[in-house]
Amino acid sequence: METRDRITTTELIIIVVNYVLAAGVFTLPRTTVERAGTPDVWISVILGGLLSMITGLIIARLSQRFPGQTIYQYSGKIIGRPLAILLGVVLIGYFVCIGSYEMRNVQEVTVFILLEGTPGWAIAGIFMWVALYLCRGGINAISRMCRLMIPITWTVFFGVSLLSLQVFDINNLRPVLGQGMSPVWRSIKPTALTFTSGEALLFLVAFMDKPKKTMKVVVSATLIAMVFYIVAVVLCIGAFSVDGVVTRTWPFIDLIRSFEVNYLVFERFESLWLTIWIMQIFCTFCIAFYGAALGLSQLTKIPLNHCLFALLPVIYIVTEIPRSLNGLFAFGAGIGNWSFFLFGVLPLPLLIIARLRGARS
Amino acid sequence: MMWSVITGWFPGWSVMFQGLILLIVPIVITLTVDWIRTFEGKVSKRGQKAKAALNKDGGATSLKGTKGAEGTKSNKTTFIAGKDDSGGSGNNDEQENPDQSYTGNVDKDLRLFKEISSDMADVNIRELRIGALQIKAVLLFVDGLTDKDSMDRNILRPLMNAVLPFEGMTEAPEAEELKRIIVERIIHVSEIEYTIDPVKSLKKVLFGSAVLMVDGMKELFVLGTPKGRTRGGEEPVSEALLRGSRIGFNETLSDNTAMLRRHGQNTELAMISFTVGKRVEKELVLTYIRDIANEALVEEIKRRLLTIDIDDVQESGFVEQLIEDDFLSPFQQIQNTERPDRVMAAMLEGRAAILLDGTPFALIMPVTFGMLLQSPEDYFDRWMAGSLLRTLRFFAALVSLFAPALYISFLSFHPGLIPTKLVISIISSRQGVPFPSLIEALIMEVSIEILREAGLRLPKPIGPAMGIVGGLIIGQAAVEAGIVSPILVIVVAVTAISSFAMPMYSAGITLRLLRFVAMFFAAVFGMYGVIMFFLLLSSHLIRLKSFGVPYLGLMVPSHLRDWKDFIIRLPLHLLKRRPALLKPKDPIRKG
């Protein structure tokens, strides 16, 4: 029987949600509260989600004009070959950096909590080899992996969140809008960066069997991801208050460490949650890895499998570039700014030019 | 300035070197795997060449598979191993004159036949004269394989007593006329074939048919089908059920196909016959339901069956291994079963099955992961009971795969995860244990696997006793001697019991194998290693296909409705569709 290289609307929603949900949960409470200084950041998360939804919709519109083609293939029709190659290289670099960022997060958190003393390269190596193996199965393999992970990771996430309600204090979230809207606006930037979903659509829509429904994908995926981030932010602030969140490197992990449960099989959940969330990050890593390799393969006409191999050391080296944890967070912020320009600003002119030139596939 | 920024980013030569290693290792692994796979490629290419020559053979719907292939085969079939007591001393002389055929002169033909059967003492030759005209004839058969009683009654007696059919004739009629008279008016045998090929006639004789040679006729009659030893359909040992039919397949192909036919009246059950094995030919039947099974699937199975290129297919396991998708996977991509009801259920879902002569194990394909944990009982019991049992089995599979690995990772890396009191009691009980937890777990796991393997071979009366000695006494003694901790004994025992909860024995073996891999991952990377192993396993299962059908298809379906019959089995009223994954021709089951 023939193999399907198409994904349905639901499958794409799941992929995009998996792409958006990643290491951001560890740090988002801190990055937002640092900028806002008030507990209202959950409003920023909602607004940031809506904002990224708008950029996602623009990207969706753009992709819909070229069904069955990825950005690497169709950008040449909009802005000409030389610029398109430049854009492609930048995009590949972006996906490599996303992959490296997630990889490095896994490394740091694992060394910190799970495996003290295990060298980073060993942790990265096994992670990337499994990802390589999965990605060689193509987009359908990644899509299935995302669907396989969802019941596990979501159950554990919400289960642990429920358990953490015992340290939750609603007073930490008050007063709402005590300093007006200005802190809320300030902290939108890190949230929007955490869940830009549009970049994945740039190449994923090409695999869709019904590209007309891309809008639905953007809206549903962003809303689902938003729920997770709101839960993370609200719970962390509720447990630690604004001042407590700022001082913690990974507030959400600290949240899970901060309580013990005597009536279940496990008493402490941070290792369990962390291992489960590593699976979630694995999905994000694979999607970014696949996106970068796909771009490389379509730009250079090298078979996809070879590109996957070629990118392996590149991602690893980029992973090791940040010298310290602070370097890593600076790296994350850098990627964020980059993505803000690439996916917040750039798609609109592209869409307008495409419309003016009447470019379609 | 620019340069200093770049060098500032440079992560160091050791990182570069690690990156290189990171690249080289998977490349080496991939190249090795590709290299191993080329063997399969070569084999199947050769198989395809053979197929091109015999293209029409396999598709023939006759139950006698060798028809139509004589032309190509008589030249190729150069060697026939003697069956039964003939000692397999294949005679090499016969292949020097393969173009011989019968002439119609009984004396000459008999000499020819004796020549090619010279080393086979069990071939009996009975000369006779037919009816009133006294036409010379010879009956050839093998002692012990042919049903002598019915042969005497239905072949010999009518032939010798035939007076009426030849009334008014003075001499033997023309060959065609004679053949018609013998077939239509004399012999009381339902199944008759004809052959003029000496080698084929010998083959038929050796397989148990009676072969009749008549003077004046080039063609020989092949009468009746063999009646070898057979046993009744007893309850399958490897797949016992509390509720469900008590019948299992046996070693006779015709009995097995009959069991499927007897399942219920159905005109759409197709049975396609193939002949497999080059040296020792065996019959193989591909069966499926014509208006359910996907045609592409059936074509693909036929194509793969024709690539089988081996001297003897000893058991259906040979077929399984020769036509499966990925021989490097630890998971079976074809399910074997002794139960006719399981085969029927699978066919009703749109799958196909293969029966092989000489083995009670039928093969079902394609396989999806859920099937390995399902039992026919799930459907026979009410839905709640079925769902409970299935959920338990899934849980048991997880335990059987991960329990020792989790023990190792909890103890060696994350004692903080389990309740403090438990940690204290485990640690205190492990006080005297001189080994790290991996070695400790390996000692127990390996010894229990040996115990299980040995228990299989022990004579029935001793088996349970040895189980008690091995399990209880050694376990107790090992704890008291301080080699292992009592908690580990519990873990290992639960693991072993869980692995017996698998309804498919061979699926249990896969889990046993993977359990050891999981233990090593856990020993090196702790929980992180277990998760990575889980991801690796999932990646493998996700990429694995059985006859083009994704192996994990039901676990991660495109449509949630395929989940109705997965871990939970919903009431039969709600199971209206066959699994969409198999793309059946008729997707609706009921309603």
The 10s digit of each residue's pLDDT in B442-478 is 998 998 888 888 887 888 787 777 777 777 888 888 8
Binary contact (A2, B548; C-beta < 8 A): yes
Q: What is the pLDDT of residue A323?
A: 83
Minimum mean pLDDT range among A54-63, A220-229, B561-570 = B561-570
DSSP-based three-state secondary structure for B31: helix
Beta strand spans in B113-170 (E)? 123-130, 135-142
**3-state helix vs strand vs coil in chain B, percent to 5:** 55, 10, 35
Determine which of A1-5, A331-335, B320-324, B530-534 has the lowest per-residue pLDDT on average.
A1-5
Q: A 203-232 residues with CB below 8 A of B?
A: none
The C-alpha atoms of residue B172 and residue B198 are separated, in whole angstroms, by 24
Q: Specify the pLDDT at position B363.
A: 94
Q: Lowest mean pLDDT of A115-124, B62-71, B168-177, B331-340, name the range.
A: B62-71
Task: Select the more confidently predicted residue: B3 or A107.
Answer: A107
pLDDT of residue B1: 62
Of the candidate ranges A96-105, B318-327, B461-470, the one whose mean pLDDT is the lowest: B461-470
The conformation of residue B96, written as its DSSP 8-state character, comes to: G
Considering all CA atoms of chain A, what is the largest pairwise distance in Å, rounded to the nearest integer? Answer: 66
Q: In terms of Cα–Cα distance, which of B223, B198, B214 is closest to B118?
A: B198
What's the pLDDT at A292?
A: 93
| Residue B458, φ and ψ in degrees, nearest 5 | -65, 150
CA distance B60 to chain A (A): 23
**Tens digit of each residue's pLDDT (9 = 90 or more) over B238-252:** 787 888 888 889 888
**Residue A287 banded pLDDT, cuts 50, 70, 90:** very high
Least confident of A28-42, A171-185, B61-75, B524-538: B61-75
Confidence of residue B58 (pLDDT cuts 50, 70, 90): very low
- Span A228-278, pLDDT tens digits: 999 998 999 999 888 888 888 888 888 888 888 878 777 788 888 888 889
- The residue with tokens 């676990």 is B555
Interface of B with A in 299-328 (CB under 8 A): 300
Quick one: tokens of A355? 């419309």
Q: DSSP string spanning A192-220?
A: HHHT--HHHHHHHGGGBS-GGGHHHHHHH
Lowest mean pLDDT among B115-124, B196-205, B462-471: B462-471
> Could you tell me the pLDDT band of residue B80, with boundaries at 50, 70 and 90?
very low
Q: Is the pLDDT of residue A3 over 60?
A: no
pLDDT for residue B533: 95
Query: What part of A 155-174 touches B (C-beta under 8 Å)?
Result: none
pLDDT tens for each residue of B410-429 = 888 888 778 888 888 888 88
* Average pLDDT estimate for B296-301: 91
Token pair for A327 = 């370097």
Let me know how long chain A is.
Answer: 361
End-to-end CA distance of chain B: 77
The pLDDT of residue A220 is above 70: yes
What is the percent of chain B where pLDDT is above 70? Answer: 88
Burial of B397 (0-12, 13-18, 19+ CB in 10 A): buried
CA–CA gap between residue A121 and residue A139 (Å, rounded)? 27
**Predicted pLDDT at B209:** 86
Give the mean pLDDT of chain B: 82
**CA torsion, ordered B424, B428, B430, B433, to nearest 10 deg:** 150
B455 by Cβ neighbours in 10 Å (0-12 / 13-18 / 19+) ranks as middle
Phi and psi at A280, nearest 5°, equal -65, -45
SS3 state at B193: strand
Pairing mode, strands B135-142 and B210-214: antiparallel
Question: Is B535 in contact with A130 (Cβ distance < 8 A)?
Answer: yes
Tokens, residue B513: 């194998």
Q: Cα separation of B34 and B39, whole Å?
A: 9
Best of A15, A18, A139, A275 to mutate (most B CBs within 10 Å, chain B):
A275
Q: What is the pLDDT of residues A329-339, one digit of tens each?
A: 888 888 888 88
* Integer Cα distance of A327 and A78 in angstroms: 37
How much is the mean pLDDT over chain A?
86
Q: What is the DSSP-derived secondary structure letter of residue A166?
A: G
Q: Is residue B69 scored above 60 in pLDDT?
A: no
CA distance B249 to B3: 77
State pTM to two decimals: 0.86
Domain A9-333 has CATH 3.50.50.60: no
Nearest to B531 among A141, A148, A279 (CB): A279
Cα distances (Å, whole numbers) of residue B26 to A46, A312, B23, B35: 42, 10, 6, 14
pLDDT at residue A282 tops 90: yes
What residues have CB less than 8 Å from A37, skipping those under 6 apart? A179, A183, A242
| pLDDT of residue B54 exceeding 70 | no
Please write the tens of the pLDDT for every residue from A30-49: 888 888 888 888 888 888 88
Mean pLDDT value of segment B120-125 = 84
Instruction: Give the per-residue pLDDT at B91.
Output: 41
Are B528 and A265 within 8 A, CB to CB? no
The share of chain B scoring above pLDDT 90, in percent, equals: 18
Question: For position B204, what pLDDT does the model report?
Answer: 84
Does residue A141 surpass a pLDDT of 60?
Answer: yes
Read off φ and ψ for residue B324, nearest 5 degrees.
Answer: -75, 165
Name residue B508's amino acid.
Answer: G
Q: Which of B542, B560, B562 to mutate to test binding with chain A, by most A CBs within 10 Å of its CB?
A: B542
Chain B neighbors of A128, CB-CB under 8 A: 22
SS3 string of B196-222? CCHHHHHHHHHHCCEEEEECCCCCEEE
CB pairs < 8 Å spanning A and B? 139
CA distances from B266 to A293, B7, B90, B263 (A): 53, 77, 44, 9
* Cβ contact B578:B584 at 8 Å: yes
Asked if the C-beta of B542 comes within 8 angstroms of chain A's C-beta atoms, the answer is yes
* Cβ contacts of A124 on chain B, cutoff 8 Å: 22
User: Strand, coil or helix: what is B230?
Assistant: coil
Q: Are B106 and B140 in contact (CB under 8 A)?
A: no
What's residue A158's pLDDT?
A: 92
Least confident interval from A86-90, A179-183, B95-99, B196-200: B95-99
